[in-house]
Structure 1
Amino acid sequence: MDDIDELLSIRAAELYYEENKTQEEIGHALQLTRWKVGRLLTQAKEQGFIRIEILHARARRLPLERRLRDERGLADAVVVSRAGVRSPEELQERVAQAAADYLTALRPVPRTLGVSWGRTLFDVSQHLRTGWASGLNVVQINGGVSLNRRAGTAAATAVAIAHKGGGSATLLPSPAILERLETKVAIESDRVVAGVIDLARSADAFLFSAGAADHRSVHVESGYLSEADVDLLVQKGAVGDVVGRYVDAQGDIVDPSLDARTVGLTLDRLRQAALAIAVTSGESKHAVTDAVVRSGLCTVLVTDEETALHLLDG
């Protein structure tokens, strides 16, 4: 592009985007054909003279989604804009809404959806509209019974998703992590618990989030782990947890003894799934999100644009 065309491209872009002129009006003003105006606008985009940003809470970053599919091997990706976000909580709400939108648009709708729990998935359940699916069966894929104020979150998430999807929920009546291995073995041998885990293994699709390995973890808040426990896991290389199982940057289990006391679906089952949707947001989850994608734990990622850029360029 020579200097004259560059100046004409800029002028055409100004008239088109800032003055709302039609290409025909621009051609008349600049004494150019309508075809030439169209070409100048295309050149302006190609040269980076124009940046279009859609400022809406449900806007998506389609070029980043395309790169995640092409460069990180995902079947699909949803990347939301951070424009106008003022807090991590607001960003999480935006990503949860995007996940709810993605679930609503799924075709065919899964017969059985396996779901984990936590703050992010609870938000997803709240953003789903009633009637988003019909006859959906939801099964909880990891234990979530606790004795403090987090109690009920796991059940509430599964029940809300199922109720709004016109179906029923099957809950896993167990804590996420047991203190003693023999207790965990006994619980998973119980006929009811074993039946729920078998149903979880056979789900058509899975929906889960990932937690950072820090003191704000829901596992600390729920009383399963102490802050010192988390510090020790970090020393062993943990970057976060997926369905209650702590992994390193490669997606490998960092503490086999802890993992053996964790109730629910194994990570190998997620890796085998035809549809496994991970929902994450925020800088604190960059490392664990990278581990999830790197190790094939999800086929679909719903996240924010900074996390996407970390995965692509970090």
Structure 2
Amino acid sequence: MPRDPIQQRQQIEDQIIEAAWAYYHDDLNQSEIAEKLGLSRATVVNYLGEARRREYVRISLSPDVFRERQISSELREKFGLKECLVVPTGETGDQTLSRVARAASDWLPQLLVRGDRLGVSWGETIFKVSQYAERRPIPEIEIVQLVGSMTTPLGFAAETCSANLAQKFDATCINLHAPLLVEQPGLAEMLRAEPVIARQLDAVRTCNKVLFAAGSCEPDSHVVRCGLVSLDLLEAYKARGAQAVISGRFIDAEGNAILGEMDNRIIGADIAQMKGKDVALLVSAGLDRVDPILATMRAGITTHLATCSATTAALLNT
């Protein structure tokens, strides 16, 4: 007689949990677990992988290890930063981004204390940080969406980034209930004056800590891929010296804001509001991000930097 499917699923679930506990807590090897549970070694390997996929198990390394490396100290001293975290570069750009984002997600809770108001930007990097973050309640903090919302096929909307982190840290989430970009400056002005949005923008201005990335001005930049700017508009900004994109705003190589007609139509933090924070954690990696990172540091925004060793080497050689 065939077994009940519900009981069968429950048995598999129990074996996944038992295998994970035996491997990560009891220090048994895969063969020993297979013998103990009456399974094949291949099944144990699959179950351990499934436990990690379901986030029953989280493997993390102490951020202190990566902050105390000599290369991290050299980077910190050269650019006058408070702290730097440098992880090994991966074999691909995607692997490197994932490594840096995961390390930053482990580091971020150490930078937060009771009463903080953390402003969260957007983009693929920040989305990955919010995904990788471990659940770790931090008393009485607020997570604030720094820029308005925008429909994007890329899957990393601004409100998702802030909501993810708020959920992980048991924080109050202050989303910015307005579009990132509207067609007319007058409409943007009217929206900013709406009481609900005005209160949310006040929260944006009063963040004491921010989490953000440095976007490039290349054609594959997320501001182009998500439709915030056209290629023609991007080229126009580059002709004026644009070197990086911070929360949808362009800056030049020296970190100066490049103002254009688009700025009057954006609802969200501007470059001036990103400065003077207790913590401004920049998460960015890749050789195509070297110039944007330099521009961002020269803008006086960055206090903390999470990146990779190849990017660090290039920064130190500038």
Pairwise TM-score range, normalised by the shorter structure: 0.7 to 0.9
Residue aligning to 2:78: 71
Q: Distance in 2 between matches of 1:120 and 1:88?
A: 12
Residue aligning to 1:91: 96
Q: Distance in 1 between matches of 2:72 and 2:237?
A: 32
**Is 1:145–1:151's contact at 8 Å kept on the other side of the alignment?**
no
Q: Distance in 2 between matches of 1:273 and 1:164?
A: 23
**What is the CA distance between 1:290 and its match in structure 2?**
0.4
The one-letter code matched in structure 2 to 1:284 is D
1:170 aligns with 2:174: yes
1:234 aligns with 2:244: no
Pair 57,162 (structure 1): closer, same or farther in 2 beyond 3 Å: closer
Q: Distance in 2 between matches of 1:109 and 1:71?
A: 31
- TM normalised by structure 2 equals 0.75
**What is the CA distance between 1:136 and its match in structure 2?**
2.9
Q: Distance in 1 between matches of 2:245 and 2:169?
A: 27
Pair 255,203 (structure 1): closer, same or farther in 2 beyond 3 Å: closer
**Is 2:113–2:141's contact at 8 Å kept on the other side of the alignment?**
no
Considering only aligned residues, what root-mean-square deviation do their CA atoms show, in Å? 2.0
Residue of structure 1 aligned with 2:223, choices 192, 204, 219: 219
Q: Distance in 1 between matches of 2:237 and 2:284?
A: 21
**Is 1:135–1:165's contact at 8 Å kept on the other side of the alignment?**
no
Q: Distance in 1 between matches of 2:211 and 2:78?
A: 23
Could you tell which deviates more after superposition, 60-69 or 301-310?
A: 60-69
Residue of structure 2 aligned with 1:81, choices 61, 82, 88: 88
**Is 2:123–2:156's contact at 8 Å kept on the other side of the alignment?**
no
Sequence identity percentage: 27
Q: Which runs of no fewer than 5 residues in structure 1 stay unpaired? A: 1-55
Q: Distance in 2 between matches of 1:264 and 1:206?
A: 13
| Secondary structure of 1:272 counterpart | coil
1:121 aligns with 2:130: no
Q: Distance in 1 between matches of 2:253 and 2:186?
A: 29
Residues 44-78 of structure 1, C-alpha deviation per residue, up to 9 Å, x if partnerless? xxxxxxxxxxxx99763711221122221111111
Residues 4-47 of structure 1, C-alpha deviation per residue, up to 9 Å, x if partnerless? xxxxxxxxxxxxxxxxxxxxxxxxxxxxxxxxxxxxxxxxxxxx
**Alignment map for 1:6-155 (pairs within 5 Å):** 60=66, 62-82=69-89, 85-106=90-111, 108-109=113-114, 111-146=116-151, 148-150=152-154, 153-155=157-159
| Secondary structure of 1:285 counterpart | helix
Q: Distance in 1 between matches of 2:98 and 2:278?
A: 26
1:181 aligns with 2:185: yes
Residue aligning to 1:292: 296
Pair 69,110 (structure 1): closer, same or farther in 2 beyond 3 Å: farther
- TM normalised by structure 1 equals 0.76
Q: Distance in 1 between matches of 2:256 and 2:132?
A: 32
Residue aligning to 1:48: none
| Secondary structure of 1:211 counterpart | coil
Q: Which runs of no fewer than 5 residues in structure 2 stay unpaired? A: 1-60
Q: Distance in 2 between matches of 1:92 and 1:72?
A: 22
Residue aligning to 1:51: none
Instruction: Give the aligned length.
Output: 256
**What is the CA distance between 1:90 and its match in structure 2?**
0.7
